[in-house]
Each structure stands twice: as structure tokens, then as C-alpha cells.
Homo-oligomer: A and B are copies of this chain.
Amino acid sequence: MKYLVDISVEPIGTGSTSISSYVKAVYEVLKAKGVKFYPAPSMTTLELDNIEDLGKIIKEIDNKLTDMGVKRIVTIIKVDDRRDKENSIDHKLDVIKM
């Protein structure tokens, strides 16, 4: 069973309106951890086999941003836990195909 988890990271108090370097940092953490993900302008979609990994992933992202000087990090997350049918990023990409 897979969990689809959308995340969006908002650094607070950085003194700059640009957030692109932090977006890149998030991707680096996900790649280093071997998490399958799909980037989008709105949120990044993660495919997790085990939802218990979520907290650890958030912590590593926040640690990385803290290393970059961010002192407050707000993360928006949407967890889609579907129990009747296998869920996946590929399935969702099929749904949104126009």
C-alpha cells in the first residue's frame, strides 16, 4: 500500500522573497533518501511505502533549511491514504492527463 504525500515548504523570516534555493534543497534531501517524487509548481508529490517515514523526512528537510540559515519553517502537507486500491504517482498522472 502506497501513501501519496504532497508537501510545500515555506521558509519564514529569511529576509528574501525568493524560495527557489529552498525548493532545490528539498529535492536534494528527497533524492539522497531515495524517495520517489514528482515536482510541480504547487506542491511536490512523494510516494511513500511507509507513512511512518513522513516525520523523519520533514525533520531532514527542516535540518537542511536550518543549515541554510532558516529559523522557522512552515510545511504544508496533504496525505492521501487510499485503502481500497493501489495508489501511485503514475495513477494520478493518468487522471490529470487532458
Residues of A near any B CB (own CB < 8 A):
4, 6, 8, 10-20, 23, 27, 38-45, 50-56, 58-59, 62, 66, 70-85, 89, 92-93, 95-96, 98
Contact = CB atoms under 8 A, between A and B. Distances in A.
Contacts of A8: 78
B14 A11 contact: no
A79 B77 contact: yes
A61 to B, nearest CB: 9
Contacts of A93: 41
A30 to B, nearest CB: 11
Instruction: Summarize A's interface: helix, strand, loop or mixed.
Output: mixed
A14 B14 CA distance: 7
22 contacts: A12-B19, A13-B14, A17-B85, A23-B96, A27-B98, A39-B98, A40-B42, A40-B43, A40-B96, A41-B96, A51-B55, A51-B59, A52-B56, A54-B54, A71-B82, A74-B79, A74-B80, A75-B77, A75-B79, A76-B76, A77-B77, A77-B78
